[in-house]
Amino acid sequence: MDIIKPATQRKSTMRCYICKATSKDFNKVETSQGVDLNNPKFGLSVLHAMIRFFETLLHLSYKITVQKWQIKLQTDKEIVNQRQKEIQKKFRTQLGLIVDVPTVTNDGNISRRFFEKPQISSEITGIDLRGNQEDFNRWAKMLKDPSWRYENVLRYFKKSEDFHKTNPDAVVDWYYHGKGGYLRTTYDLPSSNNYTKIFIEANQELGINLTDYNGKKEEGATILQKHTKQGRRLDQASAFIKPVTKRTNLYVLDSSYVIKIEINNKTNRTTGVLFTKNNSTYRANITKEVIVSAGAIQSPQLLMLSGIGPKEHLQRMNISLIKDLDVGSTLREHVFCGVQFSSKLDVPQKGFTQQIKDYLQGYGPLSAANRIDGAGFYVTKIGEDYNYTDIEIVMSSSTASELGKRFLAYSDETWNAMFNFTINNPFTLTTVLLRSRSVGTIRLNTSNPYDYPLIDFNLLSDAYNKDIETMYEGIQFAINLTKTGAFKRFSPVLAVRPLPACLTHTFLSKQFWYCYIRHISSAAYHPVGTCPTGINPKKGAVVNGNLQVFGVERLRIADASVFPFAFAGQPNAACTMIGEKISDVIKHQHK
């Protein structure tokens, strides 16, 4: 694209919630190649790219000559060089962003959420969980496009993977894994052997076998596969971008904030983008297309700010309509709910000095991507509409802290009822609803691109209450796990007390658990589906099978917003696959 002279001079007085930058940060603009903004030429522009889409840019820049295409990526340089400091600072000082919710349900806490917009994959859990094969087969069936079937996208999962089995007991279906890709995936020894060993033994007592959940069969108990290398977290920023920032046809601009996609209102043809940096607004004219990869929260907001979205909503925002599409109308999210137990399970802790020594050798608690090592994937009787995995259960240590209270946004009375009493050697079994049926929304708060959008997860709201029933079944299964011999050796006791909001229900009755779930459950920070794929825009589809926006030329979306439903996996791996797949599509279409 050709970036011309600044369109306007404007002082950025508001906080950029996409890149966590304030007005002074926009004075610190740099590029990976020292690009002169007044005269570069680019073919593709990727807006506010999440790192999970970086592989698209890398493969495009690798396989296309410099003379033919130039690729520009706007993101935050700190994700590469300063990610660890940022994460540490965040957890020391604040949790991030509080996004306003338009309504609060009458059922309790489930809509009052802290939600930090998922902006970069260097801040995710590091778990590699693709989803069930049937997720992709359903997707292909909806699109009438077999290229999205699992057997056809598997090569893209394998392409980016560098799989290493370092746990001799791990079950691996080698056919489903790749070697030599950018992103290392490890099947490590667990960092908290006692918890994981007990959890897996309990599952085996119930006839649930060990599984490679990214292999032939997802259902079963497992040690989680994670993105780590030599005991150190390996995110997509480090794996995909840092090694290739010197490529002459890949430009990375940081501290730049896209405010609008420019589209000709007569032809519906994308012509460029407006973005701010260094206290100025710039217009960028494209020669091929714009790819929006800002995630399930920011992508729909940017489209609506640009005139693509529900007609009535854009009219209320005084935004000129380009294309009437159901943007932001189908927000889907995983839901999790933990149940705490006391026990005689005493996990010995090494001294900090020894933990540091272990970390430098690539193992131990400090080498883990997160504090969860083991998980189980199950099919409940509620999932009969599609008979595959619908819940996940994980086991972890459990501690109460002010950070956790702020993270979960519990009221004081709920928090005190849950944690303000002595619990010996606590652990938590957390049920995760994977295939949520409930649908929420993303809407503009104002037409100001710097203002937060309105996010309504609308959790546990499906018409037939299947979501909450599935969660209830998951919690009951988790409790039954603690009745196995593997757990009984450590005398687990359910450490749940009556919640103030649930006192009208008989304690531990089904009605009590429904109330408990509605008050304790939280969004799992896996938002998807706000710009869904489909074949008919009149029935809610925003993009087609090639992720092109219906009715708007030269505009594509490639991130978790295109998922048509909630997957039985985490978005991270599937987004990486999307980047691989769509890079092939783009190269083919622009030969």
Residue 363 is predicted with a pLDDT of 67
Domain ranges of the chain: 2-84+237-328+529-589, 93-125+190-235+332-523
Residue 358: pLDDT band with limits 50, 70, 90: confident
CATH class of this structure's domain 2-84+237-328+529-589 = alpha beta
Q: Which two tokens stand for residue 206?
A: 């119930």
Helices (H), 280-436: 295-305, 311-316, 352-360, 402-408, 412-419
Please state which of the ranges 73-77, 171-175, 451-455 shows the lowest mean pLDDT: 73-77
Residues 518-555: pLDDT tens digits?
Answer: 999 999 989 999 999 999 999 999 999 999 999 999 99
The angle, 0 to 180 degrees and rounded to 10, between the axes of the packed helices 133-143 and 150-159 is 120
Name the CATH superfamily, with its identifier, for domain 93-125+190-235+332-523. Answer: Glucose Oxidase, domain 3 (3.30.560.10)
Please indicate, yes or no, whether the overall pTM of this predicted structure exceeds 0.85.
Answer: no
Q: Please state, in angstroms and rounded to a whole number, the distance separating the CA atoms of residues 243 and 238.
A: 7
Residue 348: pLDDT band with limits 50, 70, 90: low
Judged against a pLDDT cut of 70, whether residue 61 lies above it is answered with no
pLDDT winner (highest mean) among 6-10, 343-347, 580-584: 580-584
324 beta partners:
309
* Backbone CA torsion sign across 303, 304, 308, 309: positive
Judged against a pLDDT cut of 70, whether residue 107 lies above it is answered with no
> CB burial class (10 A; 0-12, 13-18, 19+) of residue 504?
exposed
- Which run of H or E residues covers position 18? none
What is the percent of the chain with per-residue pLDDT over 70, rounded to a whole number?
73
**Are the C-beta atoms of 528 and 560 separated by less than 8 Å?**
yes
Q: Half-sphere exposure (CA, 13 Å, Cβ side) for 537?
A: 18
